[in-house]
Structure 1
Amino acid sequence: MQNDPPTTVPRLAWLLWAVGGTAYIVAVLHRTSFGVAGLEAADRFGTSAGMLASFTVLQLVVYAALQVPAGLLLDRLGPRRMVAGGALVMAAGQAMLAFASDVGFAVAARVLVGAGDAMTFISVLSVVTAWFPVRRIPVFTQLTGLLGQLGQVLSAIPLVALLHGPGWTAAFGSAAALGVFVGVLALVVLRDGPPRKAVRASEVGRNVVEAWRHPGTRLGLWSHFVTQFSANTFALMWGFPYLVSGHELSPARASMLMTLLVLATMISGPFVGRLVGRYPLRRSWLVLGITSLSVAGWAVTLAWPPPAPPWLLVLLVLCVALGGPGSMIGFDYARTFNPPGRQGTATGIVNVGGFVASLVTILLIGLVLDAMSPDGEFTPEAFRVAWTVQIPIWLIGVAGVLRTRSLARRRMAADEALPASTGAGLSR
């Protein structure tokens, strides 16, 4: 009888995770910094609110488009250089924005922020995979994602204080300086993990093909796709206006519900991670269960004639909040179905799923609202119809999970990774 794998976290792993987590917190600060400066940006660049909103979409497009290239670089260069490089690229973007005086420079600055952001999260996950005991990885993957919520706090409080005090240049210049500090800290402290075979340039293309061809990677992508998009759409773009215009809440009450969304995500994440670690043979059922709760929350809320009662909106927020932790299950598939030499590539592929679904949903909701509200006043009925665009996204995502789960089971049985009678195990 074999001994159970160790579960004690080495002290060095704690240190490396703390540094990587700090880098991710600062990355989310950079990611969300422009959103809290909307009024100041409109005055500084003399542009419309609609144009400024497109900056968020552009940044997400850059982030999603660079996930696979970032994953390839991660497999080749290791997390130390990737985390440091991402921090410095984002710092360069923030420094450019600090002194930008026209929209063109501001766009270029946000492109740099999106590019550096794309390098950070998957690299920090690589640190977790390399240094933590296997049974602890799902929980620390969730905790890593939750650390990003602190970045939103930093952008909402100290950055806003700087904007309203010393001003634009001081605020974004300080963010750039913080990025440089984190980049240097990563270079000095982070380690790439136990030595492994280096990925040669000639192997890069094959890694992409092999990672994509493995149904376990695609199962991770579809899991990320179907769980994350509703929470992302609610948090990044349409949640607040939906609560205010769709249910006649005051901005203060809407802000309370958005805060509840963050808190519920942070609290539920470790529980989801523990379930993944304890029941790895039931991961896809957990994905489908979380998706079902989100669908149920939206179905009841949209069926209720607006304005919905406060208890129902609270229930909706709690159901939607599970999508963030649920999406992290996709990265566990990338880890367990791919060898170390291509896990970065596989993680990048998985991370594309939820952000592509989020972008499509954000744009579709905007199109429906514009079509039903030509005067620019979004009505409750317009929001009820607009949020139904989630239905085909859910259907596509669930179909993808079910199909790739079946393929993953067959692949595992064929590879004799487990006895035929339990070959479906890790994909369940």
Structure 2
Amino acid sequence: MRLSGLSDRYQSLLVMVIACGFCMYQFLLQATPGFIAQPLMDELGLSRTETGVLGSSLLYTYVLLQVPGGMLVDRFGVRNCFIGGLLFMMAGTLVFSGADSLISAIIGRMLQGAGSSVAIVGALCLAAAWFPSRYFPLLVGLVEMSAMMGGVVCGALIPELLQDSGWRGTLEASALLGVVLLVATLLWVRNAPKKEREEPTVNDQGASPPVQGQFLQVLGSRQVWVSAGFGFGLFGLVSVFGMMWGVSFLACLYPDNASFPAQGMALFFAGVSLGTVLCGWLASRGGSCRNTMILGSTLTLLLLLSIVFMSMASALMAVVLFCLGLVIGSYGLAFVAPEKSLPPSGLGVALAFINAMLLVAGQILQPLLGSLLDMRATSAGVTLPDYQVAFVPLLALAGIALVSSLLLRRA
């Protein structure tokens, strides 16, 4: 039924606000370990490698369940998947907050990842169902911006909570945020406007297409693969640099400015948030996705080189971090190709596949960089040259994004 007293226009806006809130929440949970890494290492006795494994463990279930999650969204609808996802995320956060070992902490993170797996896919399917297709690139940007705002909230809120309540209390407070989203989802989220709501799936034939057919549609699309490679490279930087090792790198770079690392990464995430919307707006206004992707990946490589290898004052670094986030925000354009090249019945699977590829880099490189830092660490700790060596794979990610953007077919 229609939400009481709301026109389709306002109902669609309310649904998207809640969907964006879901994405913000799941990204906040993803990014939190990077801001509580040192207390975790101290209390649980973790090495940097183990901390990297813990941080990336959410991504294991997140990535593995992307395509199954897309199928569930296509089959049972976004609303039901959001409800189940939030329950898993809250349960995982509480398990993580009570962890007394690496294994129990990983279990909590993996539960968080399972619940998070339907967030982006579900939000994008709601965007496709509730709005005309010409707005889809802009809505992709808004959805991704909301996710990045989770990183901004982390940078602004988590250090304060950490100081007042410790890392366990911080996680418990994070779990309470899920309750608000759960109530909002139960009350207001619907899968599609009334005239399209006879079936909960995005397939208008009344049943989900065969699984094999959905996979073949995705695997047979060159645009999907190239777009996935682009997103893999750019969002890999968000996962590895933004969510995990950026804070400690800045702490090493500016040891006399204790507040700057969290503030600098908050600026980075703010840049990514704004960049996703700007790039989506350009695409929806008739701009070239391919040219925007080429420009974004090129500037990403140049700015990353300056951050890792150039010495600069913290004020200038803050500007560069914001600009890096701004151009990395073009990663959201990776989701535009499937909406144009695939039928609606396979959209959930295609979006899930690309979203999974975006997170694979984090799975691999978060623990790898931790291992590289452990190998180079001395009794005095980790130095700037150690970070410069360990961050070479980040430059490779930017290169992958650039090559992928050049291979993309012109629209």
TM (normalized to structure 2)? 0.84
| Residues 366-381 of structure 1 mapped to structure 2, 5 A cutoff | 366-375=370-379, 377-381=381-385
Tell me, yes or no, if structure 1 residue 13 matches structure 2 residue 7. Answer: no
Tell me, yes or no, if structure 1 residue 318 matches structure 2 residue 322. Answer: yes
Quick one: distance in 2 between partners of 1:43 and 1:368?
20
Q: 1:54: which partner in 2?
A: 53
| Residues 14-93 of structure 1 mapped to structure 2, 5 A cutoff | 14-38=13-37, 41=40, 45=44, 47-48=46-47, 50-93=49-92
What is the one-letter code of the residue matched to 1:342? G
C-alpha distance after superposition, 1:273-329 (max 9, x if no partner)? 21111135x21121111000011223345554xx33456534531342035421110
Structure ranking higher on relative contact order (CA contacts 8 Å, 6+ apart): 2
Q: 1:229: which partner in 2?
A: 236
Kindly indicate whether the alpha-carbon contact (under 8 Å) linking 2:135 and 2:284 is maintained by their aligned counterparts in 1.
yes
Quick one: distance in 1 between partners of 2:322 and 2:186?
39
Quick one: distance in 1 between partners of 2:238 and 2:46?
29
Q: 1:334: which partner in 2?
A: 338
Tell me, yes or no, if structure 1 residue 288 matches structure 2 residue 294. Answer: yes
What is the one-letter code of the residue matched to 2:217? E
Q: 2:135: which partner in 1?
A: 136
Q: 1:390: which partner in 2?
A: 394
What is the one-letter code of the residue matched to 1:388? V
C-alpha change, 1:24 and 1:300, in structure 2 (3 Å) is closer
What is the one-letter code of the residue matched to 1:293? L
C-alpha change, 1:246 and 1:35, in structure 2 (3 Å) is closer
Q: 2:218: which partner in 1?
A: 211
TM (normalized to structure 1)? 0.81
What is the one-letter code of the residue matched to 1:398? L
Tell me, yes or no, if structure 1 residue 279 matches structure 2 residue 248. Answer: no
Q: 2:360: which partner in 1?
A: 356
1:198 Cα shift? 5.5
C-alpha distance after superposition, 1:246-279 (max 9, x if no partner)? 4666232333322321232233332212111113
1:374 Cα shift? 4.7
Could you tell me which runs of 5 or more consecutive residues in structure 1 were left unpaired when the two chains were aligned: 1-7, 407-423
Aligned partner (choices 239, 246, 252) of residue 246 of structure 2: 239
Kindly indicate whether the alpha-carbon contact (under 8 Å) linking 2:74 and 2:345 is maintained by their aligned counterparts in 1.
yes
C-alpha distance after superposition, 1:92-138 (max 9, x if no partner)? 21233344444433221111001111111211121111112323222
What is the one-letter code of the residue matched to 1:365? L
C-alpha change, 1:198 and 1:183, in structure 2 (3 Å) is farther
Q: How many matched pairs?
A: 397
Q: Secondary structure at the match of 2:190?
A: coil
Quick one: distance in 2 between partners of 1:218 and 1:253?
38
C-alpha distance after superposition, 1:200-256 (max 9, x if no partner)? 566122202211211222132122123222233221122223233246662323333
Quick one: distance in 1 between partners of 2:166 and 2:383?
36
Kindly indicate whether the alpha-carbon contact (under 8 Å) linking 1:301 and 1:312 is maintained by their aligned counterparts in 2.
no
Identical amino acids, percent of aligned pairs:
21
C-alpha change, 1:41 and 1:259, in structure 2 (3 Å) is closer
Kindly indicate whether the alpha-carbon contact (under 8 Å) linking 1:143 and 1:269 is maintained by their aligned counterparts in 2.
yes
What is the one-letter code of the residue matched to 1:216? Q
Q: 2:103: which partner in 1?
A: 104
1:175 Cα shift? 3.7
Q: 2:200: which partner in 1?
A: none
1:70 Cα shift? 1.4
Aligned partner (choices 357, 365, 370) of residue 369 of structure 2: 365
1:389 Cα shift? 2.4
Larger Rg over CA atoms:
1
Could you tell me which runs of 5 or more consecutive residues in structure 2 were left unpaired when the two chains were aligned: 1-6, 198-202
Kindly indicate whether the alpha-carbon contact (under 8 Å) linking 1:228 and 1:354 is maintained by their aligned counterparts in 2.
yes
Kindly indicate whether the alpha-carbon contact (under 8 Å) linking 1:76 and 1:199 is maintained by their aligned counterparts in 2.
no
C-alpha change, 1:37 and 1:380, in structure 2 (3 Å) is closer
Higher mean alpha-carbon deviation, 9-18 vs 358-367, is at 358-367
Quick one: distance in 1 between partners of 2:374 and 2:212?
42
